Amino acid sequence: MGVLGRSQRKESYKQFKKIQYPLFPVLAFQPFATVHALSFGFGKKEEVKELTKEELVVIEADKIYTANEILKLYDFLIQYKDCQNDEILWRLARAASDKGKLVQNTNEKKACFFEAFEYVKKALELNDNNFASHKWYAILLDYTAEYEGTKKRISNAFHVKEHLKRANELNPKDATSLYSLGYWCFLFADMPWYMRQIASALFASPPTSTYEEALAYFEKAEEADPNFYSMNLLMLGKTYLRLKNHNMALKYLTRAKDQPLNKPDDEKAHKEALELLKSMGVKLKDQQ
Residue 123 to residue 121: CA distance in whole angstroms: 5
- How confident is the model at residue 200, as a pLDDT? 86
Closest CA to 268 of 240, 243, 244, 233: 233
DSSP structure class, residue 89: H
Going by pLDDT thresholds of 50, 70 and 90, the confidence category of residue 47 is low
CA distances, 183 to each of 33, 126, 206 (Å):
42, 27, 17
- How confident is the model at residue 150, as a pLDDT? 83
pLDDT tens track for 119-175: 999 999 999 999 999 999 999 999 999 999 888 888 899 999 999 999 999 999 999
- How confident is the model at residue 33, as a pLDDT? 37
Going by pLDDT thresholds of 50, 70 and 90, the confidence category of residue 219 is very high
pTM, two decimals, is 0.79
Residue 84, Cα to own-chain centre: how many angstroms? 22
DSSP string for 104-160: --HHHHHHHHHHHHHHHHHHHHH-TT-HHHHHHHHHHHHHHHGGG-HHHHHHHHHHH
- How confident is the model at residue 48, as a pLDDT? 64
Cβ–Cβ under 8 Å, residues 123 and 86 = yes
**Which residues on adjacent β-strands are paired with residue 195?**
none
The overall average pLDDT reported for the chain is 85
Residue 81 to residue 120: CA distance in whole angstroms: 11
Domains and CATH numbers, the chain: 49-127 (1.25.40), 129-221 (1.25.40), 229-280 (no CATH)
